[in-house]
Structure 1
Amino acid sequence: MLLTLRCLVLVAVLWGLTACGTATLQASTEYQTVTPSADGIGRVYLGREIAQTMGHQGAGWLDRPSRVLQERPQVAIAALDLSPTDIVADVGVGTGYFARRIAPLVPQGKVLAVDIQPEMLAMLQAEEAKGIENVEPILGQPNNPNLPPTSIDLALMVDAYHEFANPREVMEGVVTALKPGGRVVLAEYKAENPMVMIKRLHKMSVAQVRREMAAVGLNWVKTDDRLPEQHLLFFQKPA
C-alpha cells in the first residue's frame, strides 16, 4: 500500500513537471522569428507575420478626404450601436479620425484614445483644442495599452491591430480593461479580396482575426461585411 502511494505521488510530481514544461514551451513558442517580409517585422504570431507600424510621418493618409467614400467610416460608426454613456477605447487611435467622430455620440461617456506614438497623440490633442472635451489621450506601450481595469464598454481597433508588435499582450490588456460583457470591434482590410489594394500584411482574414481573439478568451459575435474594403468583426468578453 505504501509503495502504491509513493508511486502515485511520483506520477503526480512527474505529471506536474510535464505540465509546467508544456506551459513554458507554449509561452516560448507563441512568437516565432523569421526573415522579415518587405512590409513585415519578422515576428510571427499564430501563423501571421506582424506588419510594420505606420509612423506618424504618414498621418496625412489617415485624414485623407477620400476616406469617406473609400471606407465609409460613417457606416462603421453606426454599426457600433453606441450608447450615450459608453466608455470607448480607440486603441491605435492615430490622429483621432474615429475618436473625434465617436466623441459626440457618447456625451455622458468618453473616448480613451490610445497610441504608442506621442506624435500621433499630439496631433489628436491639437484637434481636441477645437472643442472636443471627452477624448482622453493615453500613451500606450508596445505590450500594454495602459487602460484602467474594468473601465471600458467597447474597444475599437481600426486598421491597427495587424501592426501590434505584441498582439497577445496588448489584447490581454484590452480584455482586462473591458467590463464583463464588454465588446471588441476590429476593422481590418479584407485579406480574402485581392482587389483591396493594400499591402498583404496590412490585411487580415476573418479566420485569422477570430483565431487571435479566441486566444485571449473573446467570443465571436458577428462579422459585418457592409464596408467596401474592410471586415468589421465583433467580439465580446464573457459576462
Structure 2
Amino acid sequence: MIRRMLLLTALLAGPALAAGPLAPPGAPAGAFPKPDRPVAEIVAPQWSAEAARDKAGEFDAVARGMGIAPGETVADIGAGSGYYVVRLSPLVGPRGKVLAEDVTPAYLASLEKRVTALDNVTVVRGEPHDPRLPPNSVDAAILVHMYHEIAQPFGLLHNLAPAMRPGGRVGIVDADDIPSRHGTPPALLRCELAAAGYRETGFHPLSGGAYLAVFAAPAPDQRPRPETIRPCRDAATPR
C-alpha cells in the first residue's frame, strides 16, 4: 500500500523541473526592431567536432582574448552542447561560476546531464531576446558561433547589459561570412552592437576564418531606449 502511494505521488509530481531563468523578464521582444538581415536557423547544438576545435586551439584563444581568470563568473549565451562550459568550469575554478544559458529545451536537457558533476555550473533557460541573468552578476559573457542565429539581437543585447558587472567583457565568436552561411560580417556586428550601446574593445582573428570581437556593455541607465534603435543594413548579403 505504501509503495503504491509513493508511486502515485511520483507520477503526480511529474518529471524533475528543468533549468529555469535566474532573473525577472527584461524589456519585451516587441519593443525592439528586427534586424535588417537574414537570421540563420538553429541547426545543431555545436559548431563542429570538439576534438577538431581543441586541435585548432579555439577555446584557449578565446579565453586568452577575453582575459578570463579564476574566480570570475562567465555566462555562455547559447551554450548548446556545452563545449565551452566544461572547459570554463576548471578555468574559473571553485571560486568562479559558469552560467550556461540556452533557449532550446532539448539542448538544456542534454546540457544539464553533461554538467551534473560540475559544482560551479548553473544551467539557465533564457529567451531569444533575453538571457534572464541576474543584474550585476557577470564578469564575462561569450556568444560563440550563434550571433547569426539570434532573431532579436537588439533585445538580447539590451537585456544582457544589466547583468554585466563594471568592467565586464562581452565576446562574440563568429565566422567572417554572411548570416545565411552561418556567419556575421565584422562590420555588421560592430554596427549592431554600437546601435545597442556597446563599445568595441578588442578584435582577434581566429583559425578557420573566424574571429573574436570583444565589447564593453553600456551601463543600464546608458542603454539606448528600444524605440530609438535603428537596424543596420547588411551590405554583404545579396538582396
**TM-score strictly above 0.5:** yes
Normalising by structure 2, we get a TM-score of: 0.72
Superposition pairs of residues 26-105 of structure 1, within 5 angstroms? 30-31=33-34, 45=35, 47-54=36-43, 58-59=44-45, 62-70=48-56, 72-105=58-91
The AA in structure 1 aligned to 2:156 is V
Runs of 4+ in 1 over 4 A off after TM superposition: 60-64
Q: Over alpha carbons, which structure has the higher Rg? A: 1
* Match status 1:152 vs 2:115: no
2:109 maps to a residue whose letter is: A
Gaps of 5+ in 2: 1-29, 220-239
Specify the code of the residue in structure 1 equivalent to 2:120.
N
Cα gap change, 1:28 to 1:77, in 2 (>3 Å): closer
Aligned equivalents of 2:162, 2:47: Cα separation in 1? 32
After superposition, the Cα gap between the structure-2 partners of 1:62 and 1:110, relative to the gap in structure 1 and judged at 3 Å, is farther
| Secondary structure of 2:107 counterpart | helix
Contact 1:91 1:145 in 2 (8 A): yes
Alignment partners' CA distance in 1, 2:202 and 2:47? 29
Query: What is the TM-score when the length of structure 1 is the normalising length?
Result: 0.72
SS of the aligned residue for 1:48 comes to coil
> SS at 2:38's partner residue?
strand
Q: 1-side partners of 2:55 and 2:136: how far apart?
A: 36
Where 1:179 maps in the other structure, the secondary structure is strand
Structure 1 stretches of 5 or more lacking a match? Answer: 1-26, 32-44, 193-198
Between the aligned partners of 1:238 and 1:60, the Cα distance in structure 2 is 29
Q: How does 1:51-200 map to 2 (within 5 A)?
A: 51-54=40-43, 58-59=44-45, 62-70=48-56, 72-107=58-93, 108-129=95-116, 131-191=117-177, 200=180
Please tell me whether the aligned partners of residues 181 and 238 of structure 1 are also in contact (alpha carbons under 8 angstroms): no
CA distance in structure 1 between the partners assigned to 2:32 and 2:218 by the alignment: 27
Q: Deviations over 1:180-215 (max 9, x none)?
A: 2211000000128xxxxxx74411111111111111
Percent identity, aligned pairs only?
Answer: 32
Counterpart of 1:51 in structure 2: which amino acid?
A
Give the partner amino acid of 1:155. A
> Displacement, 1:29?
8.7
CA RMSD of superposed structures (Å): 2.2
CA, structure 1 residues 28+178, in 2 after alignment: closer, same or farther (shift >3 Å)?
closer
Aligned residues: 189
- Taking CA–CA contacts closer than 8 Å with sequence separation of 6 or more, which of the two structures ends up with the larger relative contact order? 2
Q: Aligned partners of 1:165, 1:78: CA distance in 2, in Å?
A: 29
Matched, 1:216 2:219: no
Equivalent residues of 1:150, 1:177 under 8 A apart: yes
Q: In proportion to residue count, which structure has more strand?
A: 1
- Compared CA separation, residues 175 and 113, structure 1 to 2 (3 A): same
Answer yes or no: is the 8 Å Cα contact 1:94–1:121 preserved in 2.
yes
Deviations 1:104-155 (A, max 9, x none): 11111101110001211221122212x3211100001122111111111111
Question: Partners of 1:221 and 1:126 in 2: how far apart?
Answer: 35
| 2:186 alignment counterpart | 206
Structure 1 contact 218–236 (Cα < 8 Å) conserved = yes
1:6 maps to which residue?
none
How much has 1:67 moved relative to structure 2?
Answer: 2.7
Distance 1:148 1:188, change over 3 A: same
